[in-house]
């Protein structure tokens, strides 16, 4: 199972696209959506968070620290936080597990499971970079949604697919969501 967490940063569409891509690949998913992400979903997307929940195989409330997903004995392969707010990034980097998203990240690190964080902020403060470095030192993958122009991106969908393809690559999942580098 891959846990997908959508936090309160712009770019919630990336979390939705990742869920859809994993569903298409028949990969079991668990979903966490922060309260702030629900507000941003209403603002940025033409789909309700209730309909996003239906895409996932399992859904966990972010304020329920008794949910099974918060335990190290709960089996999941990877966690992807997409998009990841700087608030969530800071909490994870500093071991502040105050909700299910930050607790699952805590579990992923202590159990040596794969964790991918797609931070959404620009420009970055020094403390943002330090928090990313802290997570990277623990083995987390920091995957900012930065475009690869070699893939000849033509529209927003291409841009988003490039990022989702890179996330899938980092998870070790074959995909053809973007044009790979080729020198002619």
d(CA 74, CA 93): 22
State the Rg of the chain over Cα.
16
Instruction: Give the mean model confidence (pLDDT) for residues 4-30.
Output: 98
pLDDT above 80: residue 183: no
- Say whether 103 sits in a helix, a strand or coil: helix
d(CA 87, CA 93): 10
Q: Are 141 and 115 in contact (CB under 8 A)?
A: yes
Q: For the chain, what percent of residues have pLDDT higher than 90?
A: 92
Instruction: Give the mean model confidence (pLDDT) for residues 151-165.
Output: 92
Q: What is the pLDDT of residues 20-31, one digit of tens each?
A: 999 999 999 999
Residue holding tokens 């794969």? 114
What pLDDT is stored for residue 180 in this prediction?
87
* Alpha helices, H only, the chain: 12-24, 35-44, 49-53, 86-93, 100-110, 126-137, 156-170
Average pLDDT, the chain: 96
What pLDDT is stored for residue 184 in this prediction?
65
d(CA 65, CA 13): 26
Q: What is the pLDDT of residues 77-129, one digit of tens each?
A: 999 999 999 999 999 999 999 999 999 999 999 999 999 999 999 999 999 99
């Amino acid at each position: 199972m891959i846990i997908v967490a959508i936090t309160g940063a712009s770019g919630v569409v990336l979390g939705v696209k990742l869920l859809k891509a994993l569903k298409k690949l028949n990969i079991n998913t668990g979903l966490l959506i922060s309260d702030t992400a629900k507000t941003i979903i209403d603002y940025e997307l033409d789909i309700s968070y209730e309909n996003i929940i239906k895409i996932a195989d399992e859904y966990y409330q972010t304020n329920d620290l008794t949910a099974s997903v918060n335990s190290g004995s709960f089996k999941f392969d990877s966690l992807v936080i997409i998009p990841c707010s700087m608030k969530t990034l800071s909490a994870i980097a500093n071991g502040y597990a105050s909700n299910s998203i930050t607790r699952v990240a805590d579990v992923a690190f202590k159990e040596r499971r794969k964790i991918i964080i797609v931070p959404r902020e620009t420009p970055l403060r020094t403390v943002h970079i330090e928090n990313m470095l802290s997570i990277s030192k623990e083995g987390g993958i920091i995957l900012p949604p930065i475009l690869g122009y070699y893939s000849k991106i033509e529209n927003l969908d291409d841009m988003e697919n490039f990022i989702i393809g890179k996330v899938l690559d980092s998870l070790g999942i074959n995909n053809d969501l973007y044009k790979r580098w080729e020198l002619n």
